[in-house]
């Protein structure tokens, strides 16, 4: 799931609030979400 969400976020197909929703659902850890945010810069 991490790789899929990372690809979508970096490709602009997933917004920050959707990334937070994935954390809330337990699909990612907060640390993984932070890594995704950093990789999109």
Reduced to 3 states (helix: H, G, I; strand: E, B; else coil), residue 19 is helix
Res 33: pLDDT = 97
pLDDT at 7 over 90: yes
CA distance 24 to 18: 10
Comparison of pLDDT for 41 and 27, the residue scoring more: 27
CA distance 14 to 24: 15
Q: What one-character-per-residue DSSP string does the chain give?
A: -HHHHHHHHHTTSS-HHHHHHHHHTTSS-HHHHHHHHHHT-
pLDDT digits (tens, 9 = 90+) for 8-27: 999 999 999 999 999 999 99
pLDDT at 37 over 90: yes
Confidence of residue 40 (pLDDT cuts 50, 70, 90): confident
């Amino acid at each position: 799931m991490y790789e899929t969400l990372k690809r979508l976020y970096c490709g602009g197909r997933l917004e920050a609030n959707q990334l937070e929703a994935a954390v809330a659902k337990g699909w990612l850890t907060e640390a993984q979400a932070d890594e995704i945010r950093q990789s999109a810069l």
